[in-house]
C-alpha cells in the first residue's frame, strides 16, 4: 500500500518567515554547540570519554 503526502499550497503566510528565522537560530545554536564539543574532543578526548562512561554508563 502506498502513501501519498500532500502539502497545502497557498500564499506565503507571515508565520513562514518567522519559522525560518527560528529554524536558523536553532541551527546556529546547534552548530555552536557541536563546535564546542569538537574543540573539547580535540584537546582531551580520552578524559571526556572516561567521564561520560562514569556519569551515565553501566
Angstrom distance (rounded) from CA 50 to CA 42: 15
pLDDT value, residue 8: 63
- Report pTM: 0.40
pLDDT value, residue 44: 81
pLDDT value, residue 47: 81
Angstrom distance (rounded) from CA 30 to CA 33: 5
Q: Binning pLDDT at 50, 70 and 90, where does residue 16 land?
A: confident
In this predicted structure, the answer to whether residue 43 has a pLDDT above a threshold of 80 is yes
Q: Are 4 and 11 spatial neighbours (Cβ–Cβ below 8 Å)?
A: no
Cell of 6: 500532500
Amino acid at each position: 500500500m502506498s502513501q501519498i503526502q500532500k502539502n497545502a499550497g497557498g500564499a506565503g503566510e507571515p508565520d513562514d518567515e518567522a519559522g525560518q528565522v527560528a529554524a536558523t537560530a536553532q541551527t546556529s545554536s546547534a552548530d555552536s554547540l557541536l563546535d564546542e564539543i569538537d574543540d573539547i574532543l580535540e584537546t582531551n578526548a580520552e578524559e571526556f570519554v572516561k567521564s561520560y562512561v562514569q556519569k551515565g554508563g553501566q
